Amino acid sequence: MTATEWLPFTVCAAALIGLGLYGLVTQPLLLRRVIAFNVIGSGIFLLFGALSGSESAGTDSVPQAMIITGIVVALSATALALALVVAHAREGGRDP
Amino acid sequence: MTDWLPPLILATSLLPAVATFFLHQESHVWRNTLNLGGALLKVGLVVFMLVEVAGGTLHETRIDLVPGVFLLLRVDALSLLFLTLSAVLWLLTTVYAIAYFDHKPNLSRFFGFFSLCVFATTGIALSGSLLTFFIFYELLTLSTWPLVVHKQNAASMRAGVSYLLYSLPGSVALLFAILWLESAAGPVEFANGADFADLDSASQRWLFLLFAGGLAVKAAMVPLHRWLPAAMAAPAPVSALLHAVAVVKAGAFGFVRVIHDVFGIERVTDLGLGIPLAMLASVTILYGSIQALRQTGIKRRLAYSTVSQVSYIVLGAALVGPLALIGGLAHLVHQGLMKITLFFCAGIYDERAGIHEIAELNGIGARMPWTSVCFSLGALGMIGLPPMAGFVTKIYLGLGAMESGAPWVVAVLAGSTLLNAAYFLPLLYRIWFTPPPDGERPGERPLGIVVPAVITGLGAIAAGLLAGADFSPLGWATLIVERHYQP
Amino acid sequence: MSLPITALVLCLTLPLLGAIATVAAPRHATPLVTSVAGLMVAVTIGLTSHVAIHGPVVVALGEWAPPLGIQIMADGPAVLFLLVNALVMAAVVLFSLAPIGQPGPRSRLAQTFWPLLLLLWGALNAIFVSRDLFNLYVGLELASLAAVALVAIERKRDTLNAALRYLLFALTGSLLYLLGVVLIYAGHGTLDITLLAGELGMHPTDALAIGAMTAGLAAKTALFPFHVWLPPAHAGAPAPASAVLSALVPKASLYIALRLWLEAAPGAGDAIAVNVLGWLGALAVVHGSIMALRQERLKLVIAYSTVAQIGYLFLVFPLALGAAGAAGSGVADSAWNGTLFQALSHALAKAALFLCAGLILEAAGHDRIARLAGVAQALPVTLFAFGLAAITLMGLPPSGGFMAKYLLVTASLEGGVPGWGLIVLAGGLLAAAYLYRPMASAFRHPDQESAAPFTTVAAWRQAIPLGLAIASLALGILPAVPHELMGGMP
């Protein structure tokens, strides 16, 4: 890939990470924080895909394997977070 | 070299300590057998070693912890002096404590920590390196705390806080000094002294100050002495052990080691460190005596008397001369014998007659003759009446002071003697020459609480009368100093 | 497969298989968990003695060597952490054979507790032996999820709050770490620590990568000022869960930070960065101790003590990598070994303290420090264990904590930066102060009128924290073998 090809991905990924971090810090609502976490995660995975294509000539399969693993991990984290949010709401806890 | 001996001696206190923790409160026979057995075995081993060391044998055990860090146990003449004192007095105090407590609660805990405390004291005596000394010194702090708070009431809990409040910062000062010195000079062994080549004289002075600060807490020197009178809240056998053998002596013994075996007398003299320390010791001697005079409780008066008397040992070490050191070392034993007698007796007065205050002593001599004779022996010894043990010490300290060019010390000794007389003689007068109040005659049973006091009281006379003998405390102190000054 | 390699693989798979089995057959959970725990202790001891005698065990998974495949390796530090992990976990399993937490639907609690505990065990072990930065990420995330779930296990409102806060910190930390992993892979084309050693720090994005990873790991280790999640989470969880969370979980992220800074990028840390880490550690010691002094509840004291004790661990960065480390390799070695001694002995002692707190809570029905009078009579063995564990945390001899303090202070003095050593010594005094309060309160005789009845606790359960506390002392009494396994700066 040439720079013109991977640069947009990188910029896009950086924007996602930045947006997500901003949301995580500023949003008080739990559900929104969980979403912000997922936005950051997407940005990182995008960055991973973009950067791994930049250096080597051929397609590197290792990052793809890692991205898939990472998505699975992020998914389970999201699931746990949502379960906790639901339990929290059931116990009558309100968002801070 | 039989290097199994030092660990074996430690084991005679450690194993009973550990085993006692697991004993049921009701298993009196087992507990007493374990503790007395350990104490007897230890006295036996110590006698064996006394003979060997007098003949010039050295015992040494080195245990590597990690590369460059080791424990060193070493039996030399000085360690044996302290070791003998602790072994003999431990045996007697154990007998006394068994009789004193009889069937009171929490005895397994008490005797467990009691033995652990003696284990730590033994370790301090046997330490051949600074780090080993520190480890046992800390162990002593930790194992004494449960003894100080043994009664678990408000007063003893306050005493416990005060004890740690002084001890732990003192330990930190000591640890920092040791690590600072060792990071410049490598591991310090008492047999070789430390190599100060890499340290300038300002650092050396700071180091000495840190060492002195750390040791002065345990030796109860002014202004770090306040924990000691507070610790009177502990039961009588603990006070006896604390004041005669374990804690205050560990501090005084540490001073001897640091001055003579770490810094060395030339360096202490060159840096001009001996005289300021001797002055501090003198202040403590006089201040402790004056405070003692102002107390109305028997145990508190005895406690301030300890503050004063322990500094005699520090004074002997700080004057850095052979005669003064002989006096100081002999006093390590003499003060132990006399003070433990006094505390044994104070405990008997308290336990059998309910007497805490000096004013309550009227006519007790006729009612509790054995106890009162022993108490009087201890008190007269403390005053320094010839031929008692205390007299011998004061003579040597005075001669040592003249030898070291500090004649003002003689005035301090004279003043202290007067003060000693002032705070002890009124007690003796009340005991023997005032009419007793009406009431039931208190008993002096069981034998277990009176016999140890009689033995130590007689010991205090014997140490003075037979001071010329080779195996008297004075004779042994002379041997130590001869070996030290003429290697 | 040879025996040591089998043992290493079992260390990873056995807890995970056990976790699945307890989910599949909850009726048989108790015998399953006890046998897994027993087996794991045996396997770990075997592996540790093998590594102590013959050196590290390396397995290339699927027989593909790095950079293509991934490697797991049990070296000296790794087996020490595996062993301490096994000891603490086994103790917690034994402890939890009696009903845990508040009375209630026990089966549901057990159904979730056992799998989570085993999952955490496996995840931590994976972190200790992984040599691949991405594998470490997976292990870290697994451990965090299991830990968060353990905090929330009782589903009370307070603990759910604490768990959510913990989760947000943990997830942010993981993402920052992952960001660093991505940048490193882009720069170097490998994530293997051995291959990265000496290379890391050369690429322009490496500083950003290491910075992001360190920030993420610091958040997970609860380094000041990222510690705010720790006290409510650790104090709110049931005592056996707190024991594991406080003793082991922060050590896992610290362990990765150590591997990263000291093994993969020893040249990359510039003087400012290592000193900042050291200062944050020092602030953690002071802040955590002062907060611990001000708490009214025993479990909160112990939790804040973890914040303080973690602070010591970060002093390794200025001592091993800063100006002091340059003074000689002996200084860096002392700093590294001291830090590992601190991490291991704190793990054992902290687990013991939380189990003690759990027993006191069971017997007294509360853990208010002001009302603990009489505990010494009711639970003598527990209080004794508490005292022994406190000795380690204060760093008094003879204990693993003293070994740690000795090595760290020596490193700071020999390295010519005595300030760090003074922090360590001051921290010991503060620890004495905050641990003395509950000790003394429990030692008092109860007043007649306020004497609350204590329910009895079985002697064998009181012996469990005692065993852990003795193990933490043993690290200082017999330090030769652990010291050799640590082996100085990698």
Cα(C245)–Cα(C240) distance, rounded to whole angstroms?
9
Looking at residue C405, what is its pLDDT?
A: 95
- SS3 assignment, position C366: coil
- Taking contacts as CB-CB distances below 8 angstroms, the residues of chain A near C134 are 66, 69
Average pLDDT (B422-431) is 93
What six digits make up the tokens of C64?
Answer: 């593909």
- B440 contacts chain C (CB < 8 A): no
- Closest residue of B to C409, CA-based? B179
Q: Tell me the mean pLDDT in the region B133-144.
A: 94
The count of CB pairs under 8 A between chains A and C is 81
pLDDT higher than 60, residue B188? yes
Question: How is residue A23 written in tokens?
Answer: 């949301």
Backbone φ and ψ of C373, nearest 5°? -55, 135
Cβ count within 10 A of residue A83: 12
**Taking CB atoms and an 8 Å cut-off, how many pairs form between chains B and C?**
68
| Residue A95 included in any domain | no
Grouping H, G, I as helix, E, B as strand and the rest as coil, residue C68 is coil
Residue A20 lies in a domain: yes
pLDDT at B311: 94
Query: Vertex C471, ends C469 and C473: CA angle to 5°?
Result: 75
Chains in touch with A (≥3 Cβ pairs < 8 A):
C
CA distance B265 to B268: 5
- Of chain C, the percentage scoring pLDDT greater than 90 comes to 66
Exposure string of C111-121, with b = 16+ CB inside 10 Å and e = fewer, is bbbbbbbbbbb
Number of domains in chain A: 1
**For residues B357, B362, B367 and B371, what is the CA-based torsion angle, rounded to 10 degrees?**
50
Touching subunits of B (3+ CB pairs, under 8 Å) are C
The separation between the first and the last C-alpha atoms of chain A, rounded to the nearest angstrom, is 46
d(CA C372, CA C358): 13
Q: Determine whether the interchain pair C145/A24 forms a contact, defined as Cβ–Cβ distance below 8 Å.
A: no
- Percent share of chain A, pLDDT over 90: 36
Burial of C458 (C-beta count, 10 Å sphere; 0-12/13-18/19+): exposed
Residue of C nearest to A33 (CA): C168
Per-residue model confidence as pLDDT tens digits over B290-306: 999 999 999 999 999 99
Whether residues A52 and C185 touch (CB distance < 8 A) is answered with yes
Closest Cβ–Cβ partner in C406, C426, C445 for B153: C445
At B364 the three-state DSSP class reads helix
What value, to the nearest 5°, has the Cα angle with vertex C482 and ends C481 and C483? 90
CB atoms C410 and B175 under 8 Å:
no
Question: In a 10 Å sphere around its CB, with 0-12 CB exposed, 13-18 middle and 19+ buried, how is residue B436 labelled?
Answer: middle
Signed CA dihedral, B425, B428, B433, B435: sign only: positive
Are C403 and C341 in contact by the 8 Å Cβ rule? The answer is yes
Q: Domain of A30?
A: 3-90
Task: Check whether B1 has a pLDDT greater than 50.
Answer: no
A36 occurs within a structural domain: yes
CB contact under 8 A, A84 and C157: no
B109–C421 CB contact, under 8 Å = no
Any C CB within 8 A of A46 CB: no
Task: Split chain C (490 residues) into runs of 10 and give each run's mean pLDDT.
Answer: 88 94 87 94 95 91 74 93 96 82 54 91 96 92 94 87 91 92 87 85 84 94 92 92 95 94 78 91 96 95 96 93 72 93 96 95 90 88 94 92 94 91 95 94 77 80 95 93 88
Which has more pLDDT, B242 or C467?
C467
Cite the beta strand spans of B21-66 per DSSP E.
59-66
Which of the four pLDDT bands, split at 50, 70 and 90, describes residue A54?
Answer: low
Residue B23 pLDDT > 80:
yes
Chains A, B in contact, 3 or more Cβ pairs below 8 Å:
no
Does some domain include residue A96? no
Q: Does A73 touch chain C (CB under 8 A)?
A: yes
Answer whether residue A57 shows pLDDT above 50: no
Among partner residues C406, C425, C436, which is closest to B164 by beta-carbon distance? C436
At C299-341, the pLDDT tens digits run 999 999 999 999 999 999 999 887 766 666 788 899 999 999 9
* pLDDT value at B75 more than 70: yes
Distance CA C212, CA C294 (A): 33
Distance from the C445 Cα atom to the nearest Cα atom in chain B, whole angstroms:
6
Out of A37, A51, A76, closest to residue C145 by CB: A76
- Residues of B in Cβ contact (< 8 Å) with C406: 69, 179
Å between B7 CA and nearest CA of chain C: 14
Contact B331, B82 (CB under 8 A): no
Q: For chains A and C, tell me whether 3 or more CB atom pairs sit within 8 A of each other.
A: yes
The enclosing domain of A18 has a CATH number of 1.10.287.3510
| B179: nearest CB among C376, C409, C432 | C409
Identify whether the C-beta of residue C303 lies closer than 8 Å to the C-beta of residue C283. Answer: no
Tell me which of B331 and B444 has the higher pLDDT. B331
Q: Does the distance separating the beta carbons of A44 and C182 come in below 8 Å?
A: yes
Residues 86 through 115 of chain B touching chain C, CB cutoff 8 Å: 109
C331, closest residue in chain B (CA to CA) = B183
Among A31, A67, A80, A86, the residue to mutate for chain C (most C Cβ within 10 A) = A80
- Checking if the pLDDT of A96 tops 70, the result is no
- Residue A71 belongs to some domain of the structure: yes
Asked if residue B104 lies in contact with residue B138, where contact means CB atoms within 8 angstroms, the answer is no
Provide the pLDDT for residue B376: 94
Question: What does pLDDT average to over chain A?
Answer: 83
CB C77 within 8 A of CB C489: no
Q: By mean pLDDT, which of A52-61, B36-45, B190-199, C398-407 is the weakest?
A: A52-61
The pTM for the full model equals 0.94
Please check whether residue A31 lies inside any domain of the structure: yes
What distance in Å separates the CA atoms of residue B143 and residue B376, rounded to the nearest whole number? 32
Mutate to test the interface with C, among B152, B153, B156, B162 (most CBs of C within 10 A): B152
Query: Which 8-state DSSP code applies to residue C63?
Result: G
Residue of C nearest to B180 (CA): C413
Structure tokens at B131: 């780090």
Closest Cα in chain C to A95? C161
- Would A15 be classed as within a structural domain? yes
Are the Cβ atoms of C440 and B138 closer than 8 angstroms?
Answer: no
Instruction: Name the residue among A60, A80, A92 with its Cβ closest to that of C157.
Output: A92
